[in-house]
Structures are given as C-alpha cells and as structure tokens.
C-alpha cells in the first residue's frame, strides 16, 4: 500500500512545482564530512578509468548515453546511480581517479538533478547521499568552488526529497539504505537538524521491527544481515564523529546482530547460503565484526530468526529451522525450509546451491526447494515462489526443539507443513551432531495428516548438495558414497529407507561464478499406510582404507 501511495505522487514529483519545493538556498560549506572505511576493488577502479564499468554482474564499455546506456539492465542502472563504485575508484588512487570521480558527479548533477522514477528511487537516493558524503574528501577536497557548491546544493535537494517521501512503501534493507542517506545528510549539512531527527525516528521504528529479539534480521538472509549490520556500524561511527548522540537502539542492535553474524559463518570465514546469500569475502566480514566490537562467540540458537548451529569438534552444521520471512520482507526468500549446511574445519562439505543474482536463469532456479539440502515432494516447492520475488504460499507451522547432553552431543527435532495443504504430508527432520566431531546422523520422516480421507503416495527426494571442491564416488556396490575433501579428510554417507544415487548439481556460492558439483539424492515413494522414514549418516572414515575396500569389493563382484 505504501508503494502505491508513493507511485500516486509521480505526477507531482515530476512537476516543476516539486523541483522548486526541494530546491532551497545555496549551501556554501558542509558542517561535517564522514569517512568511508571500507576497502574498494582497485582492479575495478582501474577498469572504470579505462571505460569498462562492471556493475550488477555486467560490464558495459563506454556506456552511452552515459546514465541510461542502451541494453543496460535496471539493476546495472540502479547501482550506477547509487555511486557505490566510488569506493573502487578511490582504491585505484591517483589524480586521474579523483578527476574522473569529480567529472562523474558533475555530469550526474547536470543530467539527473531533476526527479526520475528509477534513478531517484528513495533507496537509490539514500545510497547516493551516503556514498557522495563518505567520499567527499576524495572528491571535493580538490574540486573548484563552483563544483563544490553544486555538490552541496544537490545533496540538500536530494535530502529534502527523501525527508518528504520516506518511508515511501520501502521495507527491510531498502528502507535502511534510504534512512542512512537521510541521516548522513542530517549530520553533514548545516540545515540538517530536522533531517537528522526524522532519520533517527524512522530508524528507531525500523530497528524495533526488523531486528528480532535474538538479534537476527527479519529478512532471514545472512547476506542482508551482514549489510544491515554494516550500515548500522557506519551510522554509529558517523553520529559519534559528528558529535551527535548515538541512540541506545542502534548500539543494542549492533551488539545483538554480531553474534548472529558469527552464527552464519563457516570455518572458512564465509557466509552460509540461505535466502539469496553468497559466501562473500571473509576479510570483509572480519572487518565488519572487528568494527562491531561485539561478542566473540557465535550464537548457537536463534529461535526467533529460525536458525540453529551445531558444533562438534571440527564439524559445523548450520540449519534453517524457521518459517520464511513475513510478507513484505520475503522478496529474497527461498523455499529451503529445514535445509542445512556442513563444513569441516575450513572446508565446506554439504551446502545449498547459493544464488547468481545477476543471471536470469540462475536467479530463479536456486530459490527452489530442490536447490537446497532438504526434502522435496512430488518435485514441488515447500513454499510457492512468485516470479518477481516473494512467496505466495509458505509453511504455516515450523517447529524446532534443541537438546544437548553432557557428552557434547546436540540434537535438533524439526518439522514443517509446507506440503500439507497440497499433498497432505508433513516433513519431520532430526539432526544429531555426534560427539568429538565424528559426524552427523539424520532422520527424515514424512507423515500424512490424520484428517485425510485418501492418502495418495508421493515421490520424494532428499537432496544433499556437495561443495564443488568435494570429490564423491559410490562405494559398497552403490549403497554408500565416499566423500573426499581437498585436505585429505574422508567421510562416508549411507542411508536406509530410500534409493541412494549420485547426481550432478551446481554451486553458486562464489558471487558471479557457476561451478559444477554433485549431489547425493535419497529417493523413493511414500507409503500410504505408515509414516515414511529415511535414516542416514555422515561419518568420518579413512579414505585410503575405504577406497581399497571398495576396490576389493568390485573385484569380488567381477
């Protein structure tokens, strides 16, 4: 509804009257200039200097017309107008990089200083504000007086517009981006007191909505959780450096989000792959955690966010044990309820497929249930995915109970009813992390509703996607799978109650990369009388002995 109201204002926003309203008096100087502390990509910066602009996974050479090049995807245009690439130009260093940045800002002001639907989207405008201000020393310190004046006036114009239109129907991280831009303007521009007050009021309301009691973000995406935490760290630093009071709600949010971010990390320092997440760069995550100055240990259970972490020896298991995010916050949600990932030390073993945000085909397929390490029924999704993002139908009841014994063995008992309305079945999953890192055991049960008049048998497939670096081979006559990690660790996967096979898969965990991988599939048909139960285990083995045993078995069969 909020987005509809904002779009109804389009005739006003595009009119000369609105341009006059948001154009105020000249602003000769800034009251404060913040510092952007994050590292850019020097190689991308040098490519920009050569006219090769890579954004949203696409490279456009010498874009023409500059701000809306022919053939450019909307995501490319949004990122271009957000000026997030200034960080890479700064990393390239040198006078040419500064001159190019100044010229680009000047051209943007000349060509785009009046409202347009796409490039003045409130979230993009917010990004542009905090990127311009965060890089002001890089751009404006050596600019002439006339250009600095034009930059100041454009900043104020965009801030007036943001203050008037927010929240503009935005939700989640998009609204946080817009509020951050308005807050930066409020701290940095002389007339910004009212903008700062408005930004802090909006932010306070959103933090109470978006940050759950356990510290997780409402969109349930590790990638978005990382981004929101990073924005809050920037906001805290800017308020502090600008000699403004930092509200307790911001401090509390940072403190509670940090251990949840650690919960999302595998041994290699990268993110788990739930709900539109990639691994991301471990050093960037580490920098966020250092600046957050939060608790050093990961959270093991986040019941409101719906995630669990099992740790035993060198084994880490991260589980999506919660319901999908609510409507309005589910644009990046996947149908992966009760999926999990496993890493051993710094090596990933079992994963979800990940996401390729900028590829039409691989943007859609990884959202499906079959792209996750969970159970699929009748080759359908446990939540109904809509083409433009979001979920039309989702599990209504997702349960999780956690138990731990004195020997260090942890157990999760979970269930979801995403298939109940359509197929009459509930998926129950039990995961047990064996003591001393010896492996994990699992049990998947499919149970029919007691109220069904007719029980129709359904095909099922429990999938276990393997990381692209894992080597897998069938052993024991095809009754088990031997898994070998690059550093020599060996694991054996076996099951009862289903047909075991090894099939191709895809790994999209590295942003922009598409890698071939494999998946273990446990398939069969449900019974119509009793519950269908599949037991499986993943245990540590000596790979050389297992391979020799398998070779001997093959010779005997011959």
| pLDDT tens digits, 126-137 | 999 999 999 999
pLDDT band at residue 556 under the 50/70/90 scheme: very low
Residues in the chain: 558
Segment 9-37 shows an average pLDDT of 83
In the numeric block, the tokens 């670096």 are attached to 469
**CA distance linking residue 351 with residue 63, whole number of Å:** 38
Condensed to tens digits (0 to 9), the pLDDT of residues 406-429 reads: 777 889 999 999 999 999 999 999
- The pLDDT value recorded for residue 377 is 98
**CA distance linking residue 215 with residue 38, whole number of Å:** 23
Q: Where are the domains of the chain?
A: 1-174, 211-303, 340-557
Segment 153-168 shows an average pLDDT of 96
- Please check the confidence at residue 238 and state whether its pLDDT lies above 80: yes
Three-state SS across 401-434?
EEEECCCCCEEEEEEECCCHHHHCEEEEEEEEEC
Condensed to tens digits (0 to 9), the pLDDT of residues 479-537 reads: 999 999 998 789 999 999 999 999 999 999 998 899 999 999 999 999 988 899 999 99
- The pLDDT value recorded for residue 554 is 44
Q: Does residue 440 or residue 295 have the better pLDDT?
A: 440
Q: Confirm if 133 and 184 have CB atoms less than 8 A apart.
A: yes
- The pLDDT value recorded for residue 462 is 98
What is the pTM (predicted TM-score) of this model?
A: 0.95
- Please check the confidence at residue 405 and state whether its pLDDT lies above 90: no
Average pLDDT, the chain: 93
Angle, vertex CA 267, rays to CA 264 and CA 269, nearest 5: 65
In the numeric block, the tokens 């020997």 are attached to 407
Segment 190-218 shows an average pLDDT of 97
Tokens representing residue 214 in the block: 């356990």
**CA distance linking residue 67 with residue 86, whole number of Å:** 15
Condensed to tens digits (0 to 9), the pLDDT of residues 180-191 reads: 999 999 999 998
Angle between the N-to-C axes of helices 172-188 and 193-210, in degrees from 0 to 180, rounded to the nearest 10: 150
Query: Coil, strand or helix: which one is 384?
Result: strand
- The pLDDT value recorded for residue 27 is 84
Question: By mean pLDDT, which of 8-17, 193-202, 240-249, 331-340 is the weakest?
Answer: 8-17
- Please check the confidence at residue 549 and state whether its pLDDT lies above 70: no
As a whole-number percent, the residues of the chain with pLDDT over 90 amount to: 81
Q: Does residue 141 or residue 448 have the better pLDDT?
A: 448
Alpha helices per DSSP H over 63-135? 74-82, 86-92, 95-112, 122-134
pLDDT band at residue 545 under the 50/70/90 scheme: low
340-557 domain in CATH 2.70.98.70?
Answer: yes
pLDDT band at residue 553 under the 50/70/90 scheme: very low
- The pLDDT value recorded for residue 279 is 95
- The pLDDT value recorded for residue 543 is 57
Closest listed residue to residue 238, CA positions, set 129, 312, 92, 351: 129
Condensed to tens digits (0 to 9), the pLDDT of residues 278-324 reads: 998 888 999 999 999 877 789 999 999 999 999 999 999 999 999 99
Segment 232-236 shows an average pLDDT of 98
**CA distance linking residue 320 with residue 326, whole number of Å:** 15
Q: Which long-range contacts (CB under 8 A, 24 or more apart) does 44-49 make?
A: 44/85, 44/88, 44/91, 45/85, 45/88, 45/89, 45/90, 45/91, 45/92, 45/93, 45/97, 46/92, 48/85, 48/88, 48/89, 48/92, 48/100, 49/89, 49/92, 49/96, 49/97, 49/100
**CA distance linking residue 527 with residue 463, whole number of Å:** 19
- The pLDDT value recorded for residue 147 is 94
Q: Which residues pair with 22 in a beta bridge?
A: none
Closest listed residue to residue 232, CA positions, set 224, 276, 161: 224
**CA distance linking residue 65 with residue 59, whole number of Å:** 15
């Amino acid at each position: 509804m909020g987005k509809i109201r904002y779009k109804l204002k389009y005739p006003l926003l595009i009119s000369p009257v609105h341009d006059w309203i948001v154009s105020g008096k000249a602003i000769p100087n800034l009251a404060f200039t913040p510092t952007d502390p994050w590292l850019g990509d020097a190689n991308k910066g040098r490519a920009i200097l050569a006219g090769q602009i890579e954004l949203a996974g696409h490279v456009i050479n010498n874009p023409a017309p500059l701000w809306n090049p022919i053939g450019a995807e909307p995501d490319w245009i949004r990122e271009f107008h957000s000026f997030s690439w200034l960080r890479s130009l700064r990393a390239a260093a040198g006078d040419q990089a500064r001159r190019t940045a100044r010229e680009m800002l000047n051209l943007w002001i000349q060509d785009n200083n009046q409202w347009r639907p796409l490039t003045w989207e409130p979230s993009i405008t917010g990004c542009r504000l905090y990127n311009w201000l965060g890089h002001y020393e890089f751009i404006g310190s050596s600019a002439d007086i006339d250009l600095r004046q034009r930059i100041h006036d454009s900043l104020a114009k965009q801030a007036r517009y943001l203050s008037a239109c927010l929240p503009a129907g935005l939700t989640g991280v998009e609204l946080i981006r817009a509020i951050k831009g308005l807050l930066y303007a409020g701290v940095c521009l002389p007339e910004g007191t009212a903008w700062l007050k408005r930004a802090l009021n909006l932010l306070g309301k959103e933090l109470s909505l978006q940050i759950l009691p356990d510290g997780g973000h409402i969109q349930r995406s590790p990638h978005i959780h990382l981004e929101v935490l990073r924005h809050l760290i920037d906001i805290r630093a800017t308020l502090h450096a600008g000699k403004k009071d930092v509200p307790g709600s911001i401090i509390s949010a940072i403190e509670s989000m940090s251990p949840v971010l650690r919960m999302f990390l595998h041994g290699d320092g990268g993110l788990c792959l739930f709900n539109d997440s990639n691994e991301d760069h471990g050093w960037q995550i580490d920098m966020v955690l250092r600046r957050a100055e939060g608790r050093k240990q990961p959270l093991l259970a986040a019941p409101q966010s719906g995630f669990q972490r099992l740790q035993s020896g060198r084994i880490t298991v991260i589980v999506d044990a919660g319901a999908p995010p609510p409507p309005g916050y589910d644009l990046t949600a996947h149908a992966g309820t009760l999926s999990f990932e496993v890493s051993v030390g710094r090596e990933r073993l079992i994963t979800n497929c990940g996401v390729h945000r900028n590829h039409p085909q691989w943007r859609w397929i990884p959202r499906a249930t079959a792209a996750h390490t969970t159970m699929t029924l009748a080759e359908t999704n446990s939540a109904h995915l809509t083409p433009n993002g979001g979920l039309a139908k989702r599990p209504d009841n997702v349960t999780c109970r956690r138990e731990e014994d004195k020997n260090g063995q942890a157990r999760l008992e979970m269930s979801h009813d995403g298939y109940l309305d359509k197929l009459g079945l509930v998926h129950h999953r039990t995961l047990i992390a064996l003591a001393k890192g010896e492996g994990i055991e699992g049990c998947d049960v499919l149970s029919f509703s007691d109220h069904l008049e007719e029980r129709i048998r359904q095909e099922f497939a429990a999938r276990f996607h393997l990381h692209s670096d894992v080597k897998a081979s069938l052993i024991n006559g095809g009754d088990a799978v031997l898994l070998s990690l690059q550093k020599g660790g060996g694991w054996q996967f076996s099951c009862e109650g289903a047909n075991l096979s090894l099939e191709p898969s895809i790994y999209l965990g590295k942003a922009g990369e598409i890698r071939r991988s494999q998946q273990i599939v446990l398939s069969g048909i449900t019974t119509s009388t009793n519950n269908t139960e599949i037991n499986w285990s993943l245990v540590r083995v000596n790979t050389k002995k297992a391979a020799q045993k398998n070779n001997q078995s093959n010779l005997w069969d011959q």
